[in-house]
Amino acid sequence: MLELLKPGQLVGSLVYSLLGVVVFWVAFIIIDKLTPYDLWKGIVEDKNQALATVVAAMCLGIAIIIASAIH
């Protein structure tokens, strides 16, 4: 028999999703402050493809770590 999603499960999923996004954003800001240059300026204004690739890999790594910790 198909069970529907219970309200508690939905709320839990939303809370953990929001928590993951907040932790990810804080981690990105910390890493941005630790680097000697502005990541956002380098990617958006200077269109540095190599920097964008490194930051994308870093974001994926942080996201995997956060997802594993929450799971």
| Cβ atoms within 10 Å of 55's Cβ, excluding its own | 19
* Domain assignment of residue 68, given as a range: 36-71
- Give the per-residue pLDDT at 46: 93
Domain count, the chain: 1
What integer pLDDT is reported at residue 70 of this predicted model?
Answer: 75
Both tokens of 23, joined, read: 């932790």
**What's the CA gap between 31 and 24, in Å, rounded?**
11
Task: Give 2-45 pLDDT, tens digit per residue.
Answer: 567 787 888 888 888 888 889 888 988 898 889 888 888 888 99
Residue 19 lies in a domain: no
Handedness of CA 47, 38, 54, 68 (dihedral sign): negative
Evaluate whether residue 20 is within a structural domain: no
Could you give the CA distance from residue 35 to residue 70 in angstroms, rounded to a whole number? 27
Does residue 43 sit within a domain?
A: yes
State residue 37 phi and psi, 5-degree precision. Answer: -135, 165
Q: Each residue of 43-55: pLDDT tens digit?
A: 899 999 999 999 8
